[in-house]
Structure 1
Amino acid sequence: MNSPISLQLFNKISFAPSSHRAVYLQLSDVILSSIKKGKLRSGQKLPGSREVAALLKINRITVARAYEELQSQGWLESFVGSGTFVSSHIIDHEPENLGGGLVPASLKKAGFVMPSQNYLDSASDHPIMELHLDDGYPDARLAPLKEFYRAYRTQLTRSGLYDKFGSYGNPAGPGYYREAIASHLNETRGLKAKADNILSVRGTLMGINLVCSALINPGDVIVSGIPGWKRAEHNFIHARARHIGIKIDEHGIIVDELREICRKQTVRMVYVTPHHHYPTTVSLRIDRRLELLRLANEYGFIIFEDDYDYDFHYKHSPLLPLASADENGMVIYCGSFGKSFSPAFRMGYLVAAENVIQHLARVRILLDRQGDHILDNAMAELLNDNTVRRYLRKSLAVYEERRDLFCGLLSAELKDKVSFAIPEGGMTVWTEFDPSINLEELAKKAFRKGLYISDGKAHQYPDYKTNGVRLGFASSSKEELIKSVEILKGLEY
């Protein structure tokens, strides 16, 4: 005889006609939830399919399919002539111990212990606001999205589909993309790279993480400038390396301090952003560049050159990358289209000696078999037909106008509150506020007015304090920049 309790449970079931989930699956979901919550117990008999169908006004076959679905998963068991029962192999739980609500507790919190790593807590994204003086992002409204769409579509319709879709490719990236990147870098940055010197990555962070995984051992010393890019530093920590920070002045990292460190201990890698130091935007002076290369040759450390915004320089032709003057294979050069097109474009590259690329590709395959070859080849099309060159020329002129307008507004409207140097390139202004101004409170006030700015926490260190933030101008139109500065001017300080 069927339990009146289980029949009562079925009486409360309702279905969502608008749901994309079949009715029999909705019914099986409810039965399964009742079992997990202890409302249906191990060995308890369920009402017959005919009885449930009449009660719920659905087809008997629908009920039978729901029962069969749960039988196949092991939650129910059926015996000819006896009926359908909750599996006797299920251990009963008290309902009050399983929690309620629509979302199971298991989807909110794991039952196992995870290591506590404070450096991962800073990974939250800033809110999307109509007005924003961000970290220095490009304006996606200027990006050649239509051209990219056409190039991507072409990759899906051309011949040779087996090569693209039917098998795995080179983990270093497709040859077409690597050749296009090598040619582009040779022409624009003075490199002498070939396809075998290129590895495709999904942005700069992946490049840093891959190098740390493949070339850094626990306890290795990594040196970088302070203040610096916390995301890179967190990769060093995650690799269990020992991170040492050296000072930054108006000419970049102080290489003399690096020399003293090298004399006392073995340095495995030096991370630099020489074109425009992050976050201060200063350029590494030529004599320091040459000395950094000399020290790398003398002491055998890797130089990881993060050239995140080389394409945007306004005053004069930019200094060529360290990699262009590297004669001994000491530099790993990294670039990304995220800073040229949009942060949503997770496309970049590492450039290094052939044996380094081969080694990194072998390690990369453990995490990401090969990346997105279709996406890479679409970008290669834009490089080869000069779309990228035309876009960069156009956006460079636009960003220079925005820089000049923004710096003029800061000088005119906030001259008593901020100090800054007009950047020679890049997409942001390193801005130091008066020490009496609380940047965290200022950011909150601006947010309430519809403007996003950083609260400056990302640039604070135990032994380094600054009241500075990066105010990005490139992703905002002239009108948006004017409104943003008006908001900053109108805040209570």
Structure 2
Amino acid sequence: MSSPVENLLLTIVKLDRKAQMPIYLQAVQQLVNAIQRGYLLVGTKMPGTRVLGHLLVVHRKTAVAIYGELEAQGWVEVRPNKGTFVIAQGQEVKIYKPYEQLTSLAKYPQQTGYDFRRSNILDNPFDYAQCRYTFNDGVPDIRLTQLQNLTRVYSASMKRKSNRKRIGAYNQEGSEYFKEQLSNFLNMSRGLHIGKENLLITRSAEMSLYIISQTLLSPNDVVLVGALSMFTVNMVFQKMGARILTIPIDDEGIDVSYIRQHFQPGQIRMVYITPHHHYPTTVTLSAQRRVDLLQLATSFGFAIVEDDYDYDFQYDKSVMMPLASADLNGMVIYVGSFGKSLAPAFRTGFVVAPDNIMVEMRKYLGIIDRQGDVVMEYALGEMIEEGEIHRHLKKSLKVYRERRDVCCALLRSELGGVLDFQIPSGGLAIWTRWDTQISLLRVAGQCAKNDLLIPKTLLYQNQTVSAMRIGFGHLSVAEMEVAVGILKQSI
């Protein structure tokens, strides 16, 4: 007749013989769990190794290894000629009724036993669905990424002996080589005049903005954004306790004169802008307003955070330089993503700012991303130095320009009676203005039934606005025709 302990062991220990973890370690973990929860009480005599092997259907050597590991960890004591006994690890063990609710051993707690702060501000706003087609915010098509070339460069960087020491070391400052190459790239492509000491390398633009907000913002600081603005950025600023106020937008971007008319020097801490293609409307901030904003920042004493989230995608011959290229007084913090046209795993964020604030921002980077990704940075640096990035951008821009033109033509021909838009000079999305009688949320719901996902984050509809931001970069021409057809059918 089996003893109660043997019956208990059959309930406690469930071995997965197909798992990668060794059998004896699986048994050890589950036995330790049972001891911690009080199912195996202190002083309980365990079965002998032969009996344990028979119970678990394992070799006796495996049973010996189980008890050996438990003894090494201090959970059991092997007493010569007496047997193996459960012991306390130098502390009093809370005793539970050993035979109640044994099935709970297989479950992880659903609730914490302590209180913590919950953030409504940071709730995930994104939609997901198993639809074949989707409109998005304007992201590149990773199918255009030349993965073979990326793999070659990355693999070579991994194998290079000179990089091995760097791989094994913490480097919160980032790769000096990459920063040198990236500063040269930004100087050439964006008209900046920076050195590597003016660069902070981050994982993403969101991480960049988080570090900036930690460095600059305090509770109740006033941050100005466009009347329509990037919601994820607003979430970051609100989490810092900032007061977010809005600036009107027209066909020339944000209305800079509104700031002068409604605020006094010292009242504003930061102005966040996306001047190249304002998010979400895609309009470009005019040259005169750029000059006015720089002058106003100097006289009012506020920082300008310039987010150039899609600078790489420009289809017109005339290129508008960032505000940072004309900043003489250190008022602009320039944020962007390098490798936006590549697959997401090969992108990196960056911040450009004067030396003194860089010192502070590096402190925060050292806390949240101490080791960085030196190998990836070296690979990206080599792509800049060898001209691979330039060649990739040149090829992909032709494709994205064609897709923009096809998408605009489809929207005009299929939906011209219910929407209007301006052809964007760059970027990967179109700002479409809709007939106010149409419920965009209802249209999105109908599209989802027809295999097209339109996330609610792309919909802007209230008493003054009825618009949708439609990303086209990720869709081939054939996919775009189907997606627009579903949109038309769903109205």
TM-score of the alignment, normalized to the shorter chain, above 0.5 = yes
In structure 2, what residue type is equivalent to 1:143?
T
TM-score, with length taken from structure 1: 0.91
Deviation, 1:228, is 0.6
Q: 1:132 to 1:337 in 2, by over 3 A?
A: farther
Secondary structure of the equivalent of 1:113? coil
What corresponds to 2:107 in structure 1?
Answer: 103
2:96 maps to what in 1?
93
Distance, in Å, in 2 between the alignment partners of 1:282 and 1:67 is: 70
Structure 1 counterpart of 2:422 = 421
Q: Residue 41 of structure 1 corresponds to which residue in structure 2? A: 41
Counterpart residue type for residue 107 of structure 2 = V
How many Å apart are 1:342 and its aligned residue? 3.3
The whole-number CA distance in structure 2 between the counterparts of 1:102 and 1:442 is: 44
Separation (CA, whole Å) in 2 of partners of 1:457 and 1:394: 28
Q: Show the counterpart of 2:15.
A: 15
Q: Distance in 1 between matches of 2:443 and 2:31?
A: 53
Q: How far off its partner does 1:186 sit?
A: 1.3
Aligned to 2:331: 330
Cα offset, 1:159, TM superposition: 3.1
Cα distance, 1:261 vs structure 2: 4.2
2:104 aligns to what SS in structure 1? Answer: coil
- Opposite residue 49 of structure 1, the aligned amino acid is T
| Count of residue pairs brought into register by the alignment | 486
SS in 2 for 1:121: coil
Q: TM-score, normalised by structure 2?
A: 0.91
1:118-160 deviations in Å (ceiling 9; x for gaps): 1111354634754222110011111232222111112122232
Contact in 2 for aligned 1:204/1:335 (Cα 8 Å) = yes
Asked if the contact 2:137/2:458 (under 8 Å) is kept, the reply is no
SS at match of 1:378: helix
1:188 matched to 2:189? The reply is yes
Q: Is the 8 A contact 2:158 2:164 kept in 1?
A: no
Q: CA deviation at 1:55?
A: 3.5
Q: 1:101-140 residue pairs with structure 2 within 5 A?
A: 102-105=106-109, 108-124=110-126, 126-127=128-129, 129-140=131-142
Which whole-Å CA distance do the structure 2 matches of 1:186 and 1:16 have between them? Answer: 57
Deviates more, 1:351-360 or 1:375-384: 351-360
8 Å CA contact 2:134, 2:453 repeated in 1:
yes
Question: What amino acid sits opposite 1:235 in the alignment?
Answer: V
Q: 1:195 Cα deviation (Å)?
A: 1.5
Match 2:158 to one of 156, 179, 182: 156
Q: Write the distance in 1 (CA, Å) between the matches of 2:239 and 2:122.
A: 9
The alpha-carbon deviation at position 70 of structure 1 amounts to 3.0
Provide the C-alpha distance between the structure 2 equivalents of 1:344 and 1:134, rounded to a whole number of angstroms: 19
- Aligned-residue offset at 1:480: 0.6
* SS at 1:64 equivalent: helix
Q: CA deviation at 1:14?
A: 5.3
Residue 477 of structure 1 aligns with which residue? Answer: 476
Partners of 1:234 and 1:97 lie apart in 2 by 43
* Cα distance change on mapping 1:381 and 1:80 into 2, 3 Å: same
Displacement over 6 Å in runs of 4+: none
Whole-Å separation in 1 of the counterparts to 2:137 and 2:169: 39
Question: 2:346 aligns to what SS in structure 1?
Answer: coil
- 1:179-231 Cα offsets, whole Å, 9 max, x none, are 11111111111111112211211111111011111222222221111211111
- What pairs with 1:364-379 in structure 2 (closer than 5 Å)? 364-379=365-380
Show CA shifts across 1:249-281 (max 9, x none).
221111122223431752111110000011111
Counterparts of 1:489 and 1:433 in 2: how far apart (Å)?
Answer: 13
1:67-106: CA deviation from partner (whole Å, max 9, x where unpaired): 233344444344444323333532123566787273311x
Q: Work out the CA distance in 2 between the residues paired with 1:10 and 1:97.
A: 14
The letter for the 1-side match of 2:240 is: A
Change (3 A) 1:182 1:19: same
Letter paired with 2:93: I
Matching residue's letter, 1:150 = R
Q: Distance in 2 between matches of 1:202 and 1:131?
A: 28
Tell me the distance in 2 between the aligned counterparts of 1:48 and 1:163: 50
